[in-house]
């Protein structure tokens, strides 16, 4: 007897059919990769669907260069948009990275933007004609923001998220939304409606979450500038997994209003607020994003945003009377999960290159404080007990995805007194952390580097602990990811210390190295995390740019002036 499909299964089939219909037939791959192909990075340039000009546009420009090319009339908005729509379509067929496909609307808008320039008018803003991809949580009028839940599908939103309106007002072309994990609480982007996003570097390892679709799309060069969200590592984890730059700002920097997260209004105010932030191929593109958003005075549109104009470190606007090199701390461990040998060596490697480039480097051990963060963050994440999300799932008889099924369950909401106590502990910890921004001699530390995770990019559904990323959400520090290099043969060397695991998180982490087939890590990105004080995204970008330059072997020309 054939069983009837569940309600959520019917929704999934309809959404997948809708996706397929929105991809022009001439953009469909003729032959899918065979099971022996584990890296998809070269397929777009070899599949024959992209013209030489489309390959040039998608591979040889970052967002800043595209902006300059459009303004100088060397590039047309419609050509740029078509190139990225087509490449995004190819990326999606390979990695399943998209949710909502907006190609038709995007090409119409690009044509209008070209006509705007042709009439002699000035560009709408710094993003005029630049394609921007968005995580599925962002609302775009006329399209779903289902976040991979059957209960929220086939319900087009009636207004844009605040950040969407800002991007459009600055001339951006919005052409797709990207895949996420069910509930937004997993570290591998899989849901029952759209399926799983694959990592184009190696389909055996995770693409990360919850902005995993953004990470995979950028890795495939199907996007030049993407926007994700982060409350536990959801920008930084996909950035690491897919070898891109990415920043989680302090939550008051970038508008978050009007997003779909499956929670009740105001829930984040009693938990830990999420942040919206960029993923890109260069630090200057990340600065372009922050500058473009700040230019529209977002604090007049979202009450949570503080009025802070964007003043990049390189502008000299924050110059004090004393000039000195950047001073960067190196934090190797958090006291919860001991890093694998290649992660520790990577930090040493980056520190040595920073020193060679003229940056001041200070070793820091903040593990007594750092180790207190994850448990407190987890407790605050669970304030609401997941009840709103379970209500949505159960309304369509939708099961939890495999990774979540053993980790997530409905719990009672915490009492007001318990929530107050947790926030009191958070405030106390934030106060204590203020001390880390001066070294033993009382000199200021501008930023610190640490692991994004204690392990390399792990196999699908094997990323468990987020202490290295969620801690900086708890503290509300801006944090970014800088790609360093790929995992190679020598990185497989070394053993974990023969000591008792620090706890259950550390035990699971060690299982990803000891008696483990380390060859799965080959050819996957190795990255470092950079952290700055609260609301000092301008400093974070400056430090990330300096580190990136140092990694490329360039000396920092002159000391950077700091307050």
Show binding-site residues: 184, 210, 231-234
Q: In what order do the strands lie in the sheet with 275-280?
A: 98-101, 173-178, 131-135, 225-230, 275-280, 245-248, 479-486, 525-531, 447-450, 327-331, 360-364
* Cβ pair 188, 461 in contact under 8 A: yes
- State the pairing for strand pair 360-364/479-486: unpaired
Residue in 210, 250, 401, 470 annotated catalytic:
210
Residue in 234, 275, 282, 371 annotated catalytic:
234
Residue in 15, 86, 135, 534 annotated catalytic:
135
At residue 554, φ and ψ (nearest 5 deg) are -95, 140
- 210 is written with which tokens? 């919850």
Q: What is the DSSP string of 352-399?
A: HHHHHTT-EEEEE--HHHHTTHHHHHHHHHTTTTTHHHHHHHHHTTPP
* Cβ pair 226, 134 in contact under 8 A: yes
- Rounded-to-integer distance, Cα 391 and Cα 397, Å: 10
The residue assigned the tokens 């106590």 is 421
The residue assigned the tokens 């289902």 is 146
* Cβ pair 126, 292 in contact under 8 A: yes
Q: Active-site residue 135, yes or no?
A: yes
Half-sphere exposure of 41 (CA within 13 A, CB side): 13
The residue assigned the tokens 């190196």 is 330
What is the distance of C-alpha 314 from the center of its chain?
A: 24
Query: H helices within 47-153, ranges in order?
Result: 52-59, 63-71, 77-95, 103-118
* Cβ pair 450, 331 in contact under 8 A: yes
Element (H, E) at 238: helix 236-242
Q: Active-site residue 234, yes or no?
A: yes
Q: What is the DSSP string of 168-211?
A: HHTT-EEEEEE---GGG--SS-EETTTEEPPPSS-TTB---SSS
Instruction: Return the sign of the alpha-carbon dihedral for residues 291, 292, 298, 304.
Output: negative
At residue 38, φ and ψ (nearest 5 deg) are -110, -15
List of residues 6+ apart from 519 with CB closer than 8 A:
492
Element (H, E) at 431: helix 416-433
Binding site listing for substrate: 184, 210, 231-234
Catalytic residue numbers, as ranges: 135, 210, 234
């Amino acid at each position: 007897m054939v069983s009837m499909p569940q309600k959520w299964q019917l929704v999934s089939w309809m959404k997948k059919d809708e996706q397929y219909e929105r991809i022009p037939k001439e953009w469909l791959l003729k032959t899918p990769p065979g099971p022996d192909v584990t890296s998809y990075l070269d397929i777009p340039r070899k599949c024959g669907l992209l013209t030489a000009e489309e390959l040039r546009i998608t591979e040889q420009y970052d967002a800043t260069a595209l902006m300059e090319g459009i303004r100088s009339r060397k590039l047309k908005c419609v050509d740029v948009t078509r190139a990225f729509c087509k490449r995004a379509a190819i990326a999606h067929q390979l990695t399943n990275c998209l949710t909502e496909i907006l190609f038709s609307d995007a090409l119409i808008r690009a044509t209008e933007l070209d006509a705007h320039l042709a009439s002699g008018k000035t560009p709408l803003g710094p993003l005029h004609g630049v394609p921007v991809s968005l995580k599925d949580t962002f609302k775009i009028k006329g399209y779903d923001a289902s976040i991979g839940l059957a209960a929220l599908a086939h319900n087009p939103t009636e207004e844009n998220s605040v950040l969407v309106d800002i991007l459009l007002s600055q001339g951006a072309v919005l052409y797709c939304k990207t895949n996420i994990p069910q509930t937004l609480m997993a570290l591998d982007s899989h849901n029952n409606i759209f399926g799983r996003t694959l990592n184009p570097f190696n389909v055996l390892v995770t693409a990360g979450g919850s902005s995993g679709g953004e990470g995979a799309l950028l890795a495939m060069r199907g996007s030049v500038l993407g926007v994700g969200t982060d409350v536990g590592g959801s920008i930084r984890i996909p950035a690491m997994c897919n070898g891109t730059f990415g920043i989680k700002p302090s939550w008051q920097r970038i508008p978050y209003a009007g997003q779909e997260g499956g929670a009740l209004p105001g829930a984040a105010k009693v938990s830990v607020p999420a942040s919206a932030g960029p993923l890109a191929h260069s630090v200057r593109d990340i600065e372009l994003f922050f500058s473009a958003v700040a230019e529209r005075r977002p604090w007049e549109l979202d009450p949570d945003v503080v009025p802070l104009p964007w003043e990049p470190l390189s502008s000299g606007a924050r110059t004090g009377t004393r000039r000195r090199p950047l001073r960067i701390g190196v934090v190797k461990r958090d006291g919860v999960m001991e890093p694998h040998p290649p992660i520790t060596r990577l930090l040493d490697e980056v520190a040595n290159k920073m020193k060679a480039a003229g940056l001041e480097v200070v070793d820091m051990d903040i593990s007594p404080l750092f180790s207190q963060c994850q448990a407190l963050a987890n407790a605050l994440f669970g304030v609401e007990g997941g009840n709103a999300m379970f209500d949505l799932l159960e309304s369509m008889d939708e099961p939890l995805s495999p990774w979540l099924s053993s980790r997530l369950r409905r719990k009672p909401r915490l009492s007001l007194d318990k929530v107050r106590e947790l926030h009191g502990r958070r405030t106390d910890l934030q106060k204590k952390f203020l001390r880390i921004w001066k070294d033993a001699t009382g000199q200021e530390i501008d930023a610190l580097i640490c692991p994004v995770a204690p392990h390399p990019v792990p196999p699908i559904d094997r990323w468990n602990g987020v202490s290295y990323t969620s801690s900086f959400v708890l503290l509300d520090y801006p944090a970014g990811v800088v790609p360093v290099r790929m995992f190679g043969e020598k990185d497989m060397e070394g053993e974990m210390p023969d000591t008792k695991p620090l706890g259950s998180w550390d035990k699971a982490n060690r299982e990803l190295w000891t008696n483990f087939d380390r060859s799965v890590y080959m050819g996957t990105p190795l990255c470092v995390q950079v952290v700055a004080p609260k609301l000092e995204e301008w400093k974070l970008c400056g430090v990330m740019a300096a580190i990136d330059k140092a990694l490329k072997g360039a000396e920092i020309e002159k000391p950077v002036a700091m307050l």
